[in-house]
Amino acid sequence: MGRIRWWALPCAALVLAGAAPVAVAEQVRDGRSQPVFAAEPVRETVWVETGLDGDGDGVIDRVAADIARPAGTDQPVPVIMDASPYYSCCGRGNENEFKTYDDQGRPLGFPLFYDNYFVPRGYATVLVDLAGTNRSEGCVDVGGPSDITSAKAVIDWLNGRATGFDAATGGNPVGAGWSTGDVGMIGKSYDGTIANGVAATGVEGLRTIVPIGAISSWYDYYRSDGVSFGFDPVGLAQNVEEGGRPDCHQVKQELVAGAPTNGDATPLWTERDYVPTADRVTASVFAVHGLGDLNVKTVQFGPWWDALAAKDVPRKLWLSQTGHVDPFDFRRAEWVDTLHRWFDRWLLGIDNGITEEPAASIERAPDTWADEPGWSGEQAQATTLHPREDGLGTEPAPGGTASFTDDPSLDEYDWAARPDQQSPARTLFSTAPLSGDLRLAGTGSVTVTAVPSTPTAHLSAMLVDYGPATTRDYLGQGEGIRTLQTESCWGESRPGDDACYKDTEATTTDVDFEIIARGWADLANHESLSAERPLEPGKRYAMTFRLATTDHVVPAGHQLALIIGGTDSAFIVAPRQPGQIGLDLAQTSVTLPVVGGLPAVTSARVDAAANKPPQVRPDRVPARPEVQLNRD
């Protein structure tokens, strides 16, 4: 028999410990679940079998699921789950909270506000230690079968399809009769990535996911179209395992072998790409991503969203100007309210109208948001602009070439800071000041026909909005927010589990340009990302590579520029033999995702008084990132 949904039982009663029965109608009032479960929650740990033996000890691995659920009711409740590798190594949230336990080893402190806020409203909160982390057995494999299965197994247990125990080894079987089996997964970064990966299995019982700054392809986290970002998954695995587990040596060796430093795509990366199986997703999706996120870059969001849209998965989207920041810390009150109604709709079945509200919300200026019925990036028109000797325009170049010499000591900020000056290390093509606003929303690409002077060549490309603006300071230490000393509380505080968090505010900066999309590639992978080919100096090679997903309005009067260079030292590793690269302009272009049409675009001639190249004041150059990129 399937799980009973309590909202389908209008005559049932919800019983509080030590209190009179509470009618269902009292728990749901004004279209929202109410905090009627005032008793101390039941807090327990269940160890769930994953069906895997990642550490090779001959025993099926068990993962620890720490649970907080309403006490005093015999009606089953749905689950909000955050499956994470960070509960003991690194902490969660802006204040780096860790799990804590009492003297008997029972869970006490739950990071983040989910248990404080939602358990009194009739939800259980389940925080899962991914395999190989904290109190779970097994090994971390960075988005692979072990990671995904260890979270999916808990959903299976909640639905009666897997076995749980009251101890890490041995112990007695434990069921989840208190649960409806309906699960919503949520989490930022690695946690949200696991939500994406589990949803892509199509597991029954997962009703919604809320991925925040999440990965959809681990290849795109560590590599980009054949180039390496200079770090590898084994380092992250060892970090979350708090130094690495000796019995997981074989798994680490497989990570090293499967992730070659040359940037080639391999079966290891294919296994960790959730986009191709997005057609299995049955859960609704509420995605959040920072357009300034240079850790989990926006290329993670765009293809995943496109795949969900192709299947018409119920979905909602927030795009902020921040970097790698949780919406609890950049739009707190609105976030808690929206998340509350989202979970009420998909886990409690409350018809509260949230699916009829604007589905997309985009931050256009610090703390200024624009709503639209659906994300316009889904209707963007692919529009091609062409680099020319006189700038960037709609007409292909009649001919001509450009060239640059790869200088691995420079980066994109060096290239963009002096657009009115020639540079041997990059080429820059700019429009004249735009006659109207230009909105780019979606994932673009660059096509080059390049001639290398050495057997190895790396390429970097970026779109730059030149013109004065005030933006969130997403390159600064807080990635667009500042933590204050005041606090606000969200839910019930209990001994050892505080519901109060420091407030935040937006940090802003005045700039004369903003890099709005980036992409990198190894020209040796022009035929295939799975195998590079040595380049023949002097030979022409054609290659198309992606730019990161964006949603940006270039205002009228600003200028849009395309920069193409070699090694962007802020992100990628230099080739073995950096050299000069020539571009055939007639066979080079940029494809933009344009919403609402392209305003009149003319090239900016360096020698034309009416169309001067962009100008940048030295005091209004964006700072290089102060944050450590690719930290989780």
Residue 189: active-site member? yes
DSSP β-bridge partners for residue 260: none
Residue 423: active-site member? no
DSSP symbol at 334? H
Q: Which of 150, 189, 224, 569 is catalytic?
A: 189
Q: Cβ atoms within 10 A of the Cβ of 544, count?
A: 14
d(CA 7, CA 75) in angstroms, rounded, equals 10
DSSP symbol at 249? H
Q: Where are the beta strands (DSSP E) in 507-549?
A: 508-522, 541-546
Q: Cβ atoms within 10 A of the Cβ of 389, count?
A: 15
Which residues lie closer than 8 Å to 353 by C-beta, 6 or more apart? 31
From residue 154, alpha-carbon distances to 4, 64, 159, 359, 461 in Å are 18, 9, 9, 30, 43
In this structure, which amino acid lies at residue 291?
A: L
Count Cβ neighbours within 10 Å for each residue of 252-272 and write b for 16 or more, e otherwise: beebeebbbebbbbbebbeeb
According to DSSP, the β-strands at 360-365 and 368-372 are antiparallel
Nearest-CA neighbor of 391 among 559, 186, 578, 182? Answer: 559
From residue 51, alpha-carbon distances to 118, 129, 142, 558 in Å are 31, 16, 18, 57
Residue 243 Ramachandran class (φ > 0 left, ψ -120 to 50 alpha, else beta): left
216 CB burial (10 A radius; 0-12, 13-18, 19+): buried
Which residues lie closer than 8 Å to 76 by C-beta, 6 or more apart? 3, 4, 5, 6, 177, 178, 179, 180, 181
d(CA 607, CA 235) in angstroms, rounded, equals 51
Q: Which of 66, 293, 326, 406 is catalytic?
A: 293
Contact indicator for 406, 578 with CB cutoff of 8 Å: yes
Contact indicator for 184, 347 with CB cutoff of 8 Å: yes
Residue 216: active-site member? no
Q: Which of 141, 217, 273, 324 is catalytic?
A: 324
Instruction: Please give the structure tokens belonging to residue 604.
Output: 């900016």
Is the alpha carbon torsion for 130, 135, 141, 142 positive or negative?
Answer: positive
Give the number of residues written for the chain.
Answer: 632
Nearest-CA neighbor of 74 among 13, 7, 2? Answer: 13
DSSP β-bridge partners for residue 32: 29
Contact indicator for 503, 488 with CB cutoff of 8 Å: yes
d(CA 387, CA 446) in angstroms, rounded, equals 11
Q: What is the DSSP string of 46-112?
A: EEEE-S--TT-SSS--EEEEEEEE-SS--S-EEEEEEEES-TTTT-BTTTTB--EE-TTS-EEEPSS
Q: Cβ atoms within 10 A of the Cβ of 443, count?
A: 25
Active-site positions read 189, 293, 324
